[in-house]
A and B are shown apart, each in its own frame.
Chain A
Amino acid sequence: EAGVAQSPRYKIIEKRQSVAFWCNPISGHATLYWYQQILGQGPKLLIQFQNNGVVDDSQLPKDRFSAERLKGVDSTLKIQPAKLEDSAVYLCASSSDRGRNGYTFGSGTRLTVV
């Protein structure tokens, strides 16, 4: 089966600019996650969708981050305005069973804010 697709792979922006990331999960996977992985850290959950509804966004910095999953398939994550500390790899993952048999992660988008 095709994996989780993410784009772009790399992005460099200046602070205070905006940026958007796109994710296409595995077909049929109802649950979609966005994780942020800062260099030297483990991934941290930003937001979890079940179909097109938000299950958990408690760690999403809502003053600058937003995410949507229209029609319960593709998802976009936006940062506006970006800060230097947002430099990280943004990972999208999907699962069919809320994660107990493991997610499938995409390759991520590496964001550098300068």
Chain B
Amino acid sequence: DQQVKQNSPSLSVQEGRISILNCDYTNSMFDYFLWYKKYPAEGPTFLISISSIKDKNEDGRFTVFLNKSAKHLSLHIVPSQPGDSAVYFCAAEGGGGSQGNLIFGKGTKLSVKP
């Protein structure tokens, strides 16, 4: 049973437009959420995180929104750039597991077209 779901396997966006990547979770005990970016043949790279006590966190072109009542979070990238093309993983922590035990979604492959 997947506790973190990324229902869109892929997303294609034009350069300069907004990219919105979505993530849903089922475990209401999760209290921390992270986004990782992964290029081929490399390990995932930490991008941005948000605590469950907040509903928004912003870092440059990247903003994460959290809707606890809907158990939904999203990552917005504005403006999108070709270098943003990668697989994006949503991850959650605190669902009864040990601190540092991240539960990952399956990922969404973002393609930004020039």
- Please tell me the number of chain B residues within 8 Å of chain A, measured between CB atoms: 25
The answer to whether A66 has its CB under 8 Å from any CB of chain B is no
Interface contacts (Cβ under 8 Å), in number, total 64
Using C-beta atoms within 8 Å of the partner chain, give the interface range for chain A.
Answer: 20 to 34
B102 contacts across to A, CB distance below 8 A: 43, 45, 99, 103
Q: What is the minimal beta-carbon distance from B9 to any residue of chain A, in angstroms?
A: 9
Bound complex: CA A99 to CA B97 (Å): 13
Contact in complex: B105, A102 (CB < 8 Å):
no
Known: A42-B4, A42-B89. A98 touches B44 (CB 8 A): no
Contact in complex: B97, A56 (CB < 8 Å):
yes
B107 contacts across to A, CB distance below 8 A: 42
Known: A42-B4, A102-B49. A107 touches B101 (CB 8 A): no
Bound complex: CA A105 to CA B97 (Å): 20
Of A56, A105, A108, which contacts B101 at CB under 8 A? Answer: A56
Bound complex: CA A98 to CA B49 (Å): 14
The answer to whether A24 has its CB under 8 Å from any CB of chain B is no
A48 contacts across to B, CB distance below 8 A: 98, 100-101
The answer to whether B68 has its CB under 8 Å from any CB of chain A is no
Known: A100-B49, A102-B34. A108 touches B100 (CB 8 A): no
